[in-house]
Amino acid sequence: MLKNCLLAISVVLIIVSIYFPARHARHYSYILKDNISSQLKLHEPRNKLPNLKTCTYQNIILNSEDVDINSINERKSFQQPLAGGEFKPKQCTASINAAIIVPYRNRTRQLNIFLNYMHHFLQKQNIHYRIFIVDQNDTLPFNRAKMLNYGAKLAISLKYDCLILHDVDLLPLNTGNIYGCTKCPRHMSSSLDTFRYNLPYLTLFGGAVSILSQQFQEINGMSNKFYGWGAEDDNFYRRVIGNGLQPCRLPPEVSRYTMLFHNKEKANENRFKLLETLPENPETDGLNSLPHPHVIKLEHLYTHLVVS
């Protein structure tokens, strides 16, 4: 009798541990395609030309198309943006102005593909955007969050309302994935090809994220203390939640991304310990605690921010 009970309990335990949901990729709740445009945070255009209509985004979202993944390396056609990689649509006045902030170090080939692809992709969306490449020019391990803070600070000072924190190796594969901010901070890359187009865990908040400048300032940006690969996005998620913001996502078919091939970054051994010890709502570590020396260069296709 006791034996049978023990056997039954161990079988149940094994089954539970094998099919435990957290061991698997997850389905997630998302904003339905029809509701996306009502959830977008639009801004009154600053210097509106009287004879131009305001751009609308409903049709772009509803008539979204998949991009052929084999074409991402091809040379794309796009209009030459203003110096510093800034673009405003000509046929209407954009009510989205987004700063695309890309932390970067020493991946020239990927940067070329990224710029070529993104200008082509973004110009179809009728948004006012500018690409900021934040270059870490030192010998320390890569600090993605710190670079994003630098970029965000510059973008906010240039009056961008919407920040898009974007990795250089990610390319969006659906034209309906609008590069503007929703009212909620948005995890954009929830259907990544290297993850079998699944979401590994529900609190994932890295890759490509859009957040309103105002919200980013409220949570004091990201932590500057994460050197090396990993956990800075989890810390960011905790800051967002800790400040009462609820992150959201778009449907999987809209959120498809591809990741350009690269070797694995060296992970920060200390990352989980750091994640557990850092407070969720830090007053002193983030956007307001950046040392100042950096150089801004205006390139043809992007604004180059060199942080040393």
Long-range contacts of 287-294 (CB under 8 A, 24+ apart): 287/149, 287/152, 287/153, 287/216, 287/217, 287/220, 287/221, 287/222, 288/220, 288/221, 289/224, 290/146, 290/149, 290/150, 290/153, 290/224, 294/150
Cβ atoms of 120 and 185 closer than 8 Å: no
Is 91 near other proteins (CB under 8 A)? no
Report the distance separating Cα 270 and Cα 59, nearest Å: 46
Is 71 near other proteins (CB under 8 A)? no
* Residue 232 to residues 23, 207, 236, 237, 307, Cα–Cα distance (Å): 22, 11, 6, 9, 19
Residue 28 CB neighbours (<10 A): 18
Tell me the backbone φ, ψ of residue 8, rounded to 5 degrees.
Answer: -60, -45
Selected binder of other proteins within 137, 201, 298, 308 (CB under 8 A)? 201
Instruction: Give the x/- contact pattern for other proteins in 14-43, rule: CB under 8 A.
Output: ----xx-x-xxxxx----------------
- Least Å distance, CB 117 to other proteins, is 17
Is 75 near other proteins (CB under 8 A)? no
Is 263 near other proteins (CB under 8 A)? yes
Is 229 near other proteins (CB under 8 A)? no
Q: Which stretch binds other proteins (CB under 8 A): 140-148, 149-157, 187-195, 291-299?
A: 187-195
- Between 39 and 198, CB nearer to other proteins: 198
Is 52 near other proteins (CB under 8 A)? no
Is 291 near other proteins (CB under 8 A)? no
Q: Which stretch binds other proteins (CB under 8 A): 87-95, 161-169, 235-243, 257-265?
A: 257-265
- Between 201 and 272, CB nearer to other proteins: 201
Residues in the site for other proteins, rule: CB under 8 A? 18-19, 21, 23-27, 66, 69, 193-198, 200-201, 261, 263-264
